[in-house]
Amino acid sequence: MMDDATRAQVTAADPARSTWLTANAGSGKTRVLTDRVARLLLKGTAPERILCLTYTKAAATEMQNRLLKRLGEWAMLPEPELRAQLAQLGEGGDPDLPAARRLFARAIETPGGLKVQTIHSFCAGVLRRFPLEAGVPHGFVELDDRSAALIRSDIIEDMARNDAPELADLLALQSGDSIDGFLASLRGFHAPADPAEIWRRSGLRPGQGWDDLLRDLFPGGKADVITEHHSPSGAQRRE
Amino acid sequence: MAEWQPGLFALPCGADFAAGIAEGLIARMAGHPPEAMARVTVYANASRTLTALRDALIARGPMLLPRLRLVDHLGGGALVAPLARRLELGRLVAAALARQPDLAQGQSVPRLAASLADLMGEMQEEGLTPQSLDRIDVSEHAQHWGRALAFLKIAADYYLTDPPVDPAARLRHAVDRISADWAQGVNLPDGPVVVAGSTGSRGATRDFMRAVARLPMGAVILPGFDFHQPAPVWHSIDTRAEDHPQSRYAPLIAEFGQPARWVGDEPASLRNRLISLALRPAPVTDQWIADGPGLGDLIPATQGLTLIEADQPGQEAEAVALLIRDAAEKRQEVTLIAADRMLPRRVSAALDRWRIIPDDSAGQPLPLTPQGLFLSHVAGLVGQALTIDALVTLLKHPVTNTGSGAEQRRQHQIHTRDLELDLRRRGPAFPDGAALRDWGMKRGRSRKIWAGWLADVLDRAAPLALDRGPRPLADRLSELIDLAQLWAAGPGGDVQVSELWRGEAGPNVAASIAHIRDHAHLGHAMRPAEFCDLLQEEMQRQAVREDVIAHHLIHIRGPREARTENAPLVILAGLNEGGWPQGLAPDPWLSRPMRAAAGLTLPERRIGLSAHDFQQAVGRPHVVLTRARRDAEAETIPSRWLNRLTNLLGGLPDQNGKAALAQMRARGRHWLDLVALQATPSAVIPPAPRPSPIPPAPALSEMSVTDVARLIRDPYAVYARRVLGLSPLPPMRVEPDPAARGTVLHRIVQVFLGAKPSASDRPERLRQMLMGATDQVLEQDVPWPSARLFWRARIAGIADQLMADEAARLAAGSQPVVVENQGRVGVAGMDFTLTARPDRIDLLPDGRAQIYDYKSGKPPTDKQIALFDKQLPLEAAMVARGGFDAIGPVEAAGIAFIQLGGEGRTEDRAFDPAFAAETWDGFVALIGKYLRGERGFTARLTMEQTGHGSDYDHLSRLGEWSMTEPAVAQPLKGRDDG
């Protein structure tokens, strides 16, 4: 009754297992996903408890439309055809037909909308729901790239106008050609630097200074050779 | 009044609501003297309903009108201005944020306060107290909940305690008092009381309706009631089905039973039955397949329905515009109902083609009116240095300098244009009063006065650029007004004559500002951004309708106004999820279970209200449903009600459901075909060929060596710049980009060499001279602090290498004799001169010349020089021909590039005198062809990369031709020829 490809699709769409699926374009991945969601709904999961994340907005709306079309068909199919379709899904046996018919309206009316969305929009939604907890302003708008670049350059101007000491470090690292690209890529610097941690990861003892290090490496006092040619001038060491 | 039947009544969907009420009222008062009607009181939900009702009554003949009131006015409105309440709340919130600095991350207090105030308004309507928040079970949400709860408690203590001053609280209070009185038979009204047009979605209104329905002479008329919904379905609409269109009627049905019909007929009965079935709540939709056959033949039910599914929103708008035009031509009244604002704007723009102005009930929000935008621009001057683009934006604004009449304004525009061109070409990047006064000196009295005025205004605004911290609201507001009035009045002008407080929106903006000023003392100290937010919030609450003469038959309305619209043709547009119904914004304070526990309505209620608007509108005789299948980014999801309807129709083939749907779509396709026909151009214009113009000989009389590379790569650019005389306009927002950096670095070197360093100077002294030159040039020419830092660091980084090389050169006896001096050499046999302004030419001890070029980027390779970068070889050839007075005709020894970046090295390139001669001959041959008209100035002849752009791509119409096309020479006639 079922060929191998269909059987593979049915297995992949089984909502009781976690699945990692790779397939060529056009082989029916979206179909498997909508089948999976449909089966979850059939088994009684409330539509508002299902989350589908996609990479593009186009994929999200396409998937939602296809799912609703499927469920809409079920609502109006005569009984024998409906049984056949459910059996093809892998829900043979004695499926609850009225429940299957109700799924269309239930999915459409999901409180908060059926959550088929891009990762971006999911994250934005979470931040909007918990602005205080997340530390973002109430009613924020997302920065587009150009506004973000303008704000970054304003910040650098301000720092330059006020002679901020950090700019000296920045100049040592960057020539100013692609400063915006460099600034935009800065991540993970929310918390202030912890010297103890940096020292530890570099294999230094806490509070160990340059002279201590030289003394450790050159116990016989030969440290002078190094100091002459490679003094750490120009680089400000922060305590 | 024995015949008066009290209780619950209703009118069906699709009925002309106002006409229905009027008819029923007149019928019930028919046997009574005329003055009895004057004792009837009718309460409505909105003034629009009252107006429609008054018109409907008057249309039925002369009579004494009943008293027409708004339910909202029962409470008497606000005792204290809502703005005052929000400002006080803002102060409390600001104090709370100050105590917990980690919460204050970028929060805008006016936004927070407005959001809290809205939530509190909802709580007031439902009659909740601060203790309602305690009812929420926090065990699962403890951590998240803690922070939000702190703010909610502040707001609740402020808003939800007695005595009531806000409109919602006062309404609640009044309704409670009235209900209690009437229940005890006290203070009963003297005549019949009718509540019409309200759905009872808000708690206070619903309780008033219940009280009126219990009066012996009361009547409540529900709009858009679904008479076709069977009793079991009513029972199943519990509080969780808030999104059902009839859900707000369920508690009233439970209390009073099914309403009676206010008037007998239901013209759209078949259609209403179909829609009613399509919109059944989810738990009973498994019955669709069973109940569907009960509808009978579906063709009559969908007779007046048209479905337009356009591919794009623009197409949808065009189709709607064509529909409206058709209705106007047939003198038929039509109403367009749309939830999002984009579509009506597009439709109005499309209708403008035929000079049709629709009657649009939505106005323009104040912040988008000219005066609103003007104030935003002026407010935006605070906290930022003034750039050229910000200055020009204000100067060009229609409100600026209108205080002395139209002639003065015209002069102002001329000065603005001149100033803009000069600022673009010569800067400064941050104009100030002094720069303006200098500019004003240059040309005549009129300009001097204007520039003096502008300089005064800029001087006034200058200290504000540094103002970033919190300051009292009253101070900020008065500063804004003073500055705005200066801008608007102009030199010697009168602000009362100017456009600032006049026109359509001016008085509203003035009233908004005055309102804020009256309550400014209540606000907290605000930063500039918060002040802008507050202004925006306040002005956003008002909209200004345009004062134009609109077509009397064409209306554009929002969905909430659907119940009072009575046009025979109704267009319901934008039927996509996210549009109509509108997307629900995530609630930042309470989740759904929390709202339910606190006693608040669920957000789905808004969808239910929208659904009801749709259900009422879709019952009209002729309805056109439109949507766009795609928006800018992706497919759209059809509106849930449309989806239900099409799914139901498509699933009932035996009742002609599929056929009915196909007919609906066919009627729609007629309009889409018309749109396509309209969009087809009547004439076909062939695309332009690849330009290769041959201007009348001689095309040019001189050229610089730097242009030679361009002549080889893209001759058309040389044609456009040198022959046509077109130069690209410098950008308005001057950035310290690589081009600017290159100019400044060259200037530094020029100043350094101008100080005549000699062999006796040690490298340290040379370095000092170089850095001195750097500091001098940066101070004079570079206004951006960050650019100064970076470019200085660049020079400092390479200074050692540069100066070491320089010292070596000087020690070897090399002497810079030509530094940015122009040289010229005529080409024999043609009226043509080649010019050059070399960076540097040194005289070597052996009498030969060494040519240098400073490069801030990567220097060209030998191959590039061989193929097209002929600048230095040509300079060498010019030196050999005595083109430079300072050096006479000498042979060149070599060419080299000195890098002003990277490591600062000097790089030699392959060179011998034969190469220079060869290059010269090659150039003469090439330019000869162009001068004699043997060769066209082809566009993009041999670009280095196909992706490289040219300033003249638009002019050459790149895109209509591609670079694979061969160029066809186009000889052009001069003015003297034929």
What are B179-205's pLDDT values in tens digits? 999 999 988 998 999 999 888 888 899
- The CATH code of the domain that includes A8 is 3.40.50.300
pLDDT for residue A228 is more than 60: no
What one-character-per-residue DSSP string does B173-192 give? HHHHHHHHHHHTT-S--SS-
C-alpha dist (Å) from residue A189 to A133, A186, A194, B389: 19, 7, 11, 34
CA B829, CA B928: separation in Å to the nearest integer? Answer: 9
pLDDT for residue A239 is more than 50: no
Q: Are B528 and B472 in contact (CB under 8 A)?
A: no
C-alpha dist (Å) from residue B608 to B124, B277, B617, B857, B913: 21, 16, 14, 64, 88
B492 at interface of A, judged by CB pairs closer than 8 A: no
Which of residues B553 and A192 earns the better pLDDT score? B553
Q: Which helix (H) or strand (E) element contains residue A116?
A: strand A115-118
pLDDT for residue B955 is more than 90: yes
For residue B850, what are the β-bridge partners? B842, B894
What does the pLDDT average to over B842-858?
90
> What distance lies between CA A97 and its chain's CA centroid?
38
Of B588, B638, B791, the CB nearest to A128: B588
- Is A73 among the domain residues? yes
Q: Are A115 and A50 in contact (CB under 8 A)?
A: yes
pLDDT for residue B695 is more than 70: yes
- Is A28 among the domain residues? yes
What does the pLDDT average to over B859-877?
91
Which of residues B330 and B383 earns the better pLDDT score? B330
CA B645, CA B277: separation in Å to the nearest integer? Answer: 9
Q: Quick one: tokens of B426?
A: 């010569």
Q: Are B321 and B571 in contact (CB under 8 A)?
A: no
* pTM (2 d.p.): 0.83
- B459 φ/ψ angles, rounded to the nearest 5 degrees: -65, -40
Helices (H), B60-81: none
What does the pLDDT average to over B129-134?
86
How sure is the predictor about A119, in pLDDT bands with cuts at 50, 70 and 90?
Answer: very high
Q: Which helix (H) or strand (E) element contains residue A115?
A: strand A115-118
**How high is the pLDDT of residue B787?**
85
**How high is the pLDDT of residue B978?**
44
Q: DSSP 3-state assignment of B645?
A: helix
Q: Quick one: tokens of B4?
A: 């008066």
Instruction: Please state which of the ranges A94-98, B97-101, B154-158 shows the lowest mean pLDDT.
Output: B97-101
CA B839, CA B850: separation in Å to the nearest integer? Answer: 12
- For residue A122, what are the domain limits? 4-134
- pLDDT above 90 as % of chain B: 55
Length of chain B, please? 978
Of B106, B282, B602, the CB nearest to A106: B282
ipTM metric: 0.81
**How high is the pLDDT of residue A234?**
39
**How high is the pLDDT of residue A224?**
65
Of A65, A136, A179, the CB nearest to B635: A65
How sure is the predictor about B665, in pLDDT bands with cuts at 50, 70 and 90?
Answer: very high
- Is A109 among the domain residues? yes
pLDDT tens by residue, B418-469: 999 888 887 788 898 999 999 998 888 888 999 999 999 999 999 988 888 8
Q: What mean pLDDT value characterizes chain B?
A: 90
CA B175, CA B204: separation in Å to the nearest integer? Answer: 6
CA B753, CA B742: separation in Å to the nearest integer? Answer: 17
Q: Cβ–Cβ of A128/B585 closer than 8 Å?
A: yes
pLDDT for residue B417 is more than 50: yes
Q: Cβ–Cβ of A160/B148 closer than 8 Å?
A: no
In sequence order, what are the residues at sequence separation of 6 or more whose Cβ sits closer than 8 angstroms to the Cβ of residue A49? none
- Is A61 among the domain residues? yes
What one-character-per-residue DSSP string does B699-763 give? --SEEEHHHHHHHHH-HHHHIIIIIS---PPPPSS----HHHHHHHHHHHHHHHHHT---TTS-H
What does the pLDDT average to over B112-134?
88
**Chain B residue with the nearest C-alpha to that of A57:** B634
Q: Alpha-carbon torsion A195, A196, A202, A205, what sign?
A: positive
CA B850, CA B841: separation in Å to the nearest integer? Answer: 6
Number of domains in chain A: 1
**How high is the pLDDT of residue A222?**
65
pLDDT tens by residue, B225-261: 999 999 888 988 876 688 899 999 999 999 999 999 9
Q: Are B690 and B966 in contact (CB under 8 A)?
A: yes
Nearest of B149, B125, B122 to residue B135 by alpha carbon? B149
Instruction: Quickly tell me which residue has 């801030």 as its tokens.
Output: B856
Residues in A closer than 8 angstroms to B111, CB to CB, are 137-139
CA B206, CA B172: separation in Å to the nearest integer? Answer: 10
B197/chain A closest Cα distance in angstroms: 26
Q: Cβ–Cβ of B643/A68 closer than 8 Å?
A: yes
Q: Are B931 and B699 in contact (CB under 8 A)?
A: yes
Instruction: Quickly tell me which residue has 């009118």 as its tokens.
Output: B11
CA B68, CA B272: separation in Å to the nearest integer? Answer: 30
How sure is the predictor about B736, in pLDDT bands with cuts at 50, 70 and 90?
Answer: confident
Instruction: Please state which of the ranges A19-28, B141-150, B526-535, B962-971 shows the lowest mean pLDDT.
Output: B141-150
pLDDT for residue B660 is more than 90: yes
C-alpha dist (Å) from residue B950 to B728, B859, B943, B958: 10, 21, 9, 10
- Is A8 among the domain residues? yes
- pLDDT above 70 as % of chain A: 91
What does the pLDDT average to over B801-809?
90
- Selected for mutation to probe chain B from A61, A143, A169 (highest B CB count within 10 Å) is A61
Q: Cβ–Cβ of B635/A62 closer than 8 Å?
A: yes
**How high is the pLDDT of residue A195?**
85
- Is A218 among the domain residues? no
A43/chain B closest Cα distance in angstroms: 16
- Selected for mutation to probe chain A from B118, B149, B153, B289 (highest A CB count within 10 Å) is B289
Question: Please, how many CA atoms are within 13 Å of residue B324, restricted to the half-sphere of its CB?
Answer: 33
Q: Cβ–Cβ of B583/A113 closer than 8 Å?
A: yes
Gyration radius (Cα) of chain A, Å: 30
Helices (H) and strands (E) in chain B, counts: 35, 24
In sequence order, what are the residues at sequence separation of 6 or more whose Cβ sits closer than 8 angstroms to the Cβ of residue B958? B939, B940, B950
B286/chain A closest Cα distance in angstroms: 5
CA B574, CA B349: separation in Å to the nearest integer? Answer: 16
What one-character-per-residue DSSP string does B254-267 give? HHH-SPEESSS--T
**How high is the pLDDT of residue B361?**
86
pLDDT tens by residue, B70-85: 998 898 888 888 899 9
Of B111, B285, B635, the CB nearest to A104: B285
pLDDT tens by residue, B698-723: 788 999 999 999 999 999 999 999 99
Residues in A closer than 8 angstroms to B147, CB to CB, are 132-133
Q: Cβ–Cβ of A64/B637 closer than 8 Å?
A: yes
**How high is the pLDDT of residue B376?**
93
What does the pLDDT average to over B679-684?
90
pLDDT tens by residue, A139-190: 788 888 888 988 888 888 888 888 888 888 888 777 777 778 888 888 777 7
pLDDT for residue A229 is more than 70: no
Of B286, B592, B648, the CB nearest to A98: B286
pLDDT tens by residue, B29-57: 988 998 999 999 999 988 889 999 999 99
- Is A223 among the domain residues? no
Instruction: Quickly tell me which residue has 């929009």 as its tokens.
Output: A121
Nearest of B955, B963, B870, B883 to residue B921 by alpha carbon? B870
B632 at interface of A, judged by CB pairs closer than 8 A: no
How sure is the predictor about B601, in pLDDT bands with cuts at 50, 70 and 90?
Answer: confident
B101 at interface of A, judged by CB pairs closer than 8 A: no
CA B252, CA B255: separation in Å to the nearest integer? Answer: 5
Q: What mean pLDDT value characterizes chain A?
A: 83
Of A98, A125, A171, the CB nearest to B586: A125
- B892 φ/ψ angles, rounded to the nearest 5 degrees: -95, 140
Query: Is the omega angle on the peptide bond into residue B859 within 30 degrees of 0, that is, cis?
Result: no
- pLDDT above 70 as % of chain B: 98
- Is A200 among the domain residues? no
**How high is the pLDDT of residue B2?**
46
Q: Are B206 and B187 in contact (CB under 8 A)?
A: no
